[in-house]
Amino acid sequence: MFLHEAYLSYDKRAVTHCMFLHEAYLSYDKRAVTHCMFLHEAYLSYDKRAVTHCMFLHEAYLSYDKRAVTHCMFLHEAYLSYDKRAVTHCMFLHEAYLSYDKRAVTHCMFLHEAYLSDDKRAVTHCMFLHEAYLSYDKRAVTHCMFLHEAYLSYDKRAVTHCMFLHEAYLSYDKRAVTHCMFLHEAHL
């Protein structure tokens, strides 16, 4: 019936969505069926962010972009569990994809993997970076990107340094922050 109304209203995206759901039912692809039902409810409740998310997932399925599909499934589960920080993170990643901000996409993928591996320090770090982006704190963003690269290169001394700086930020220990910024610039 939803598809019928979409045809009558000439809502092409809704028609496409329903055809996708129909095929998912026929192929017994349970994850796809679950996704589409979620989109259907989002349409009916006029939750624009959820609709946008699901369309993004739909396009990811069609293009076989596995990382994007994985991301969206993670967001879907976050919605269902009401994990607000995870939802916020995923929306940030979604916007990064749309704006082609590669550094932000890389950051969010790192956070996503940290969630899955239960690496609490990495999750804490990434949330700190996320907040720095939103507040336009350039020094904090620079610091976190440096830490992110240190993780990826397994440079233990750099990781240790940055964790010390991160804790200094959180405790508002200005002398420690000043020291670490000096050390950070010395590294660079």
Residues 78 and 109 reside in one and the same domain = no
Token code pair at residue 73: 């499934």
Q: Tell me if 75 is assigned to some domain.
A: yes
Q: Which run of H or E residues covers position 131?
A: helix 120-135
Residues 156 and 111 in one domain: yes
Residue span of the structural domain in which 82 resides: 1-87
**pLDDT values of the chain reduced to their tens digit, one per residue, 188 residues:** 333 344 334 444 454 444 444 444 444 444 444 444 444 444 444 444 444 444 444 444 444 444 444 444 444 444 444 444 444 444 444 444 444 444 444 444 444 444 444 444 444 445 444 444 444 444 444 444 444 444 444 444 444 444 444 444 444 444 444 444 444 444 44
Contacts of 147 (CB under 8 A, 6+ apart): 125, 158, 159, 162, 163, 166
Instruction: Please tell me whether residues 174 and 119 are part of one structural domain.
Output: yes
- Domain tally, the chain: 2
The C-alpha atoms of residue 69 and residue 57 are separated, in whole angstroms, by: 6
